[in-house]
């Protein structure tokens, strides 16, 4: 008897299965296999050494949770056809296929297109290769399919993407605060009037999920050392591009060299989709890592200084503040950089970085989580939670600069 599924051993969930057919064929495709070489949480391993898992792991984990969600909803009488089930599973499997090297870190640095837009372009290209088999998945992914809850399972405040990455990132970083009751949340999901809801008895599991998400952002994703490393990597690639624009392109693997020498945005991707997708698909973490390792000995003092710091973990100092930094304080640091004999000459404007990071555990930019009460009414979670769940953003300002002038 022919096997119907491929069984894999996942460190987070144990045995997971991939149905043979189009889902397995998509996993085997080079576009998807590329995700093996893109780290899920970028440079977080500089702080949490175990955080070396990849977008490949995450996509398979999200597919596993989607399988559970579809089974749970069907058991409650929600009508999901085989074609719809396949479509929503394809959509979650490919939701991150457009990520570039080091995930979010180099988004809008190497190319001026976000990963969601690239994921859609990859899906459209694959749809042609698979003769229209992804058409329904693309409708679900873009929210155009007339069953909104299918899109919410892929992209919403309780989607399978978030449930997997919180659980997985917690596992690989060892940060126990990120562990969530994903299985109970999935079992508490239901559909009312075509929209995804949570049954009231699952509200405490959702509150725990939102709290864990907020903690993971400040303790892991926005940890000051992680942010410093990511800012240094962006600065390094920007310097390499500056040199390229002067006709002094530093050595880089061909896939990276192309994007150093060419400014590519949404217009170019739509006009030359297939050519640029193939160029982008050839690019992953290994290209950037090899280039940065080589640039340590580059004659440009700024590029070599930044590259050496990244490779050897000589990272910038980063300060967080609840309020914007005093301009006089920033000017003093800039002057100290200018006066320091330990830093590249005339690099003051390059070596001080200001910005802000915002953490929204619960937001209104996506639809609110809706709760189905015991009486059968559907209400926003923020209106009935006794845990103080409310749409709110927390913003911190940061100042990043070399430790040589930290005193």
> What is the H or E stretch that residue 96 is in?
none
Confidence of residue 172 (pLDDT cuts 50, 70, 90): very high
> What is the H or E stretch that residue 361 is in?
strand 353-362
Strand 392-401 versus strand 317-321 pairing type: antiparallel
pLDDT reported for residue 389: 61
User: Cα(124)–Cα(134) distance, rounded to whole angstroms?
Assistant: 8
pLDDT reported for residue 384: 79
Pair 380, 391: CB distance under 8 Å: no
- Whether the pLDDT of residue 387 is over 70: the answer is no
| pLDDT-above-90 percentage for the chain | 84
- Whether the pLDDT of residue 113 is over 80: the answer is yes
Pair 217, 394: CB distance under 8 Å: no
- Segment 377-384 shows an average pLDDT of 86
| Sequence spans of domains, the chain | 5-94+134-220, 317-367+389-407
pLDDT reported for residue 366: 65
User: Cα(349)–Cα(338) distance, rounded to whole angstroms?
Assistant: 9
| Close Cβ partners of 51 (under 8 Å, ≥ 6 residues apart) | 39, 40, 41, 44, 45, 169, 172, 173, 220
- Segment 6-10 shows an average pLDDT of 96
Question: Minimal CA–CA distance to 343: which of 277, 283, 402, 260?
Answer: 402
How big is the CA angle at 175 (ends 173 and 178), to the nearest 5 degrees?
110
| pLDDT-above-70 percentage for the chain | 96
pLDDT reported for residue 386: 64
Pair 31, 126: CB distance under 8 Å: yes
Confidence of residue 345 (pLDDT cuts 50, 70, 90): confident
- Segment 313-333 shows an average pLDDT of 96
Strand 378-380 versus strand 353-362 pairing type: unpaired
pLDDT tens digits, residue range 148-160?
999 999 999 999 9
Lowest mean pLDDT among 14-28, 117-131, 210-224: 210-224
- Whether the pLDDT of residue 365 is over 70: the answer is no
Distances (CA, A) of 51 to 42, 69, 74, 318: 9, 27, 35, 21
- Whether the pLDDT of residue 222 is over 60: the answer is yes
pLDDT tens digits, residue range 352-362?
999 999 887 66
User: Cα(376)–Cα(380) distance, rounded to whole angstroms?
Assistant: 13
Q: State the chain's maximal CA–CA distance in angstroms.
A: 75
CATH number assigned to the domain covering 5-94+134-220: 1.10.3210.10
Intra-chain end-to-end CA distance of the chain, in Å: 71
Residue that is written with structure tokens 């396949």 in the block: 86
- Segment 61-85 shows an average pLDDT of 98
Give me the chain's average pLDDT, please: 93
> What is the H or E stretch that residue 379 is in?
strand 378-380
């Amino acid at each position: 008897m022919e096997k119907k599924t491929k069984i894999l051993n996942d460190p987070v969930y144990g045995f997971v299965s991939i149905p043979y057919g189009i889902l397995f064929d998509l996993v085997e495709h080079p576009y998807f296999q590329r995700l093996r070489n893109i780290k899920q949480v970028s440079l977080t391993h500089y702080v949490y050494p175990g955080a070396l898992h990849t977008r490949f792991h995450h996509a398979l984990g999200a597919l596993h949770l989607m399988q559970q969600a579809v089974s749970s909803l069907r058991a409650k009488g929600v009508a999901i056809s085989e074609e719809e089930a396949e479509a929503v599973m394809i959509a979650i499997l490919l939701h991150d296929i457009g990520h570039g090297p080091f995930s979010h870190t180099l988004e809008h640095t190497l190319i001026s297109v976000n990963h969601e837009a690239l994921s859609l372009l990859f899906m459209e290209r694959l749809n042609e290769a698979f003769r229209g088999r992804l058409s329904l998945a693309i409708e679900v992914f873009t929210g155009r399919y007339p069953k909104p809850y299918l899109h919410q399972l892929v992209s919403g405040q309780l989607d399978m993407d978030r449930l997997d990455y919180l659980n997985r990132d917690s596992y690989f970083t060892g940060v126990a605060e990120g562990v969530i009751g994903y299985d109970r949340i999935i079992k508490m999901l239901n559909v009312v009037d075509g929209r995804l809801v949570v049954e009231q008895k699952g509200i405490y599991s959702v509150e725990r999920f939102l709290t864990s998400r907020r903690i993971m952002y400040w303790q892991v994703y926005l940890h000051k050392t992680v942010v410093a490393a990511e800012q240094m990597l962006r600065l390094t690639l920007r310097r390499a591009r500056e040199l390229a624009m002067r006709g002094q392109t530093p050595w880089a693997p061909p896939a990276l060299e192309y994007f150093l020498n060419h400014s590519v945005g949404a217009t170019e991707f739509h006009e030359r989709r297939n050519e640029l997708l193939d160029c982008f698909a050839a690019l992953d973490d290994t290209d950037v890592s090899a280039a940065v390792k080589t640039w340590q000995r580059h004659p440009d003092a700024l590029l070599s200084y930044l590259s050496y710091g990244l490779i050897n973990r000589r990272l910038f100092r980063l300060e967080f503040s609840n309020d914007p930094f005093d301009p006089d304080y920033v000017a003093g640091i800039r002057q100290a950089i200018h006066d320091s004999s330990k830093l590249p000459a005339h690099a003051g404007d390059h070596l001080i970085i200001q910005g802000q990071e915002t953490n929204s555990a619960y937001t209104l930019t996506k639809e609110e989580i809706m709760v189905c009460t015991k009486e059968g009414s559907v209400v926003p979670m923020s209106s009935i939670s006794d845990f103080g769940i409310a749409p709110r953003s927390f913003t911190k300002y940061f100042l990043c600069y070399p430790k040589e002038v930290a005193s």
